[in-house]
Amino acid sequence: MSGNTFGNVFRLTTFGESHGPGLGGVVDGCPAGIPLDESMIQLELDKRKPGQGGLASTTRKEPDQIKILSGVFEGKTTGTSIGFYIENTNQRSHDYSKIKDVFRPGHADFTYNAKYGFRDYRGGGRSSGRETVSRVAGGAIAQELLRTEGISIYAYTVEYGGIKAEIKDYEGAQDRPYFSPDPDIIPAWEKHITEVRDEEDTLGGVVEIRATGLPVGLGEPVFGKFDGRIAQALMCVGAVKGVEIGSGCEAARSRGSLNNDNLDENGFLSNNAGGILGGISSGQDVIARAYVKPIPSILQEQQTVTTKGEPTFIMVGGRHDISAIPRINPVLKSMMALTIADLLLLDRRLGVRD
């Protein structure tokens, strides 16, 4: 409730700051007997590593070695809580004097300072994007559970800096730069990235997250709807400013006769609903999109104030990505996995499938 726990039945609790000793978390509620070892989690963590993202990434190295501390015995989950830890190994002694007493525009400096009375000014502390490493580790555990049920999750980039991709092959996207579902769009994206980098600016984009192999019936009516849960899961990732399901925002400009998904004896004839009806999964693919803002750390001077409210200018230097995409993709995938794991276990106790 204080914000560091996600889920009710399958639950992830995380801790850690960008410049503390390390980050980690606890997964509680994972059933016993699920195959799990560190290498499975490491695979997902490696997708979030800097340098994976083609031209858009920093060259900073963070090995991000996962260590499982509990809850696994002889290669399987025991049903008790799974603790894990990732040591921070890349903390160089910085000079923070430039940002210690100044609020960086677009960052959480101002609000953290107001809420808590002071802040850990070293690299954003708990508000740093580095926090998401724990989400990816927890999400990897969720994905191992989902795998045993035949459920897969994909997160691929459908728009970058305003340039749309075609969804030609989402399954192969995770092996391509920018997690692109369209190999042919990559040169156009890279040209744009190079231009924007030269202008010392940053870019956003759109990520589609898809879950396949879902049973019918996940989600709870009214306040616990599957789509509501997804919206919360994706919107609570740092840079996300908009979330849509299925036909999404465009549905607002459509008509009932066009937007309804009709059925025949083979099932649904379209998927404008994005796999969810009345808040409950229909068995079709669940499809959501997250709209990602450009990252706020730019190599330009920006107008701001000090912690005492005096006007000043700040130039946030350092090694920064030009976009949260594609490093945000495994994070969004993890949030979807955590959401589905929770609803799956919750649903098992209800309804006719028991």
Identity of the residue, 152 or 272, whose beta carbon is nearer to its own copies in the bound complex: 272
Q: Among 206, 209, 211, 214, which residue interacts with its own copies (rule: CB under 8 A)?
A: 206
Q: Give the range of 90-98, 172-180, 185-193, 270-278 binding its own copies by CB under 8 A.
A: 270-278
Residues in region 166-195 near its own copies by CB under 8 A: none
In the complex, what is the shortest distance from the CB of residue 229 to its own copies, in angstroms, rounded to a whole number? Answer: 7
Distance CA 69, CA 55 (A): 35
For 34, the token pair is: 């699920």
Distance CA 37, CA 145 (A): 12
Q: Among 6, 154, 156, 178, which residue interacts with its own copies (rule: CB under 8 A)?
A: 6
Q: Can you spell out the DSSP letters for 41-74?
A: HHHHHHHTSTTTTGGGS--------EEE-SSEET
Identity of the residue, 50 or 248, whose beta carbon is nearer to its own copies in the bound complex: 248
Identity of the residue, 186 or 344, whose beta carbon is nearer to its own copies in the bound complex: 344
Residues in region 278-337 near its own copies by CB under 8 A: 278-283, 291-298, 300, 302-305, 309-311
Using rule CB under 8 A, residue 100 touches its own copies: no
Residues in region 22-81 near its own copies by CB under 8 A: 22-26, 28-29, 31-33, 67, 69-71, 73, 76, 78-81
The reply, when asked if residue 127 is annotated as ligand binding, is yes
Q: Is 232 helix (H, G, I), strand (E, B) or coil?
A: helix
The reply, when asked if residue 126 is annotated as ligand binding, is yes
Q: Give the range of 7-15, 36-44, 46-54, 57-65 binding its own copies by CB under 8 A.
A: 7-15
In the complex, what is the shortest distance from the CB of residue 279 to its own copies, in angstroms, rounded to a whole number? Answer: 7
Phi, psi for residue 244 in degrees, rounded to 5 = -140, 155
Residues in region 226-245 near its own copies by CB under 8 A: 227-236, 238, 241-245
Whats the size of the chain, residue-wise? 354
Angle at CA of residue 213, ends 207 and 214, nearest 5°: 85
Using rule CB under 8 A, residue 351 touches its own copies: yes
Distance CA 141, CA 138 (A): 5
Nearest alpha carbon to residue 155 among 37, 48, 62: 48
Using rule CB under 8 A, residue 123 touches its own copies: no
In the complex, what is the shortest distance from the CB of residue 176 to its own copies, in angstroms, rounded to a whole number? Answer: 20
The reply, when asked if residue 135 is annotated as ligand binding, is no
Q: Among 44, 159, 182, 208, which residue interacts with its own copies (rule: CB under 8 A)?
A: 159
Distance CA 202, CA 208 (A): 20
Q: Among 54, 91, 224, 271, which residue interacts with its own copies (rule: CB under 8 A)?
A: 224
The reply, when asked if residue 319 is annotated as ligand binding, is yes
In the complex, what is the shortest distance from the CB of residue 301 to its own copies, in angstroms, rounded to a whole number? Answer: 10
Peptide bond into 326 cis (omega under 30): yes
Residues in region 247-266 near its own copies by CB under 8 A: 247-249, 251-257, 259-265
Distance CA 87, CA 23 (A): 6
Distance CA 263, CA 1 (A): 40
Phi, psi for residue 98 in degrees, rounded to 5 = -70, -35
Radius of gyration of the chain (CA): 21
Distance CA 141, CA 38 (A): 10
For 197, the token pair is: 């980098």
**Binding residue ranges:** 48, 126-128, 278, 293-297, 319
Annotated binding site for FMN: which residue ranges?
A: 126-128, 278, 293-297, 319
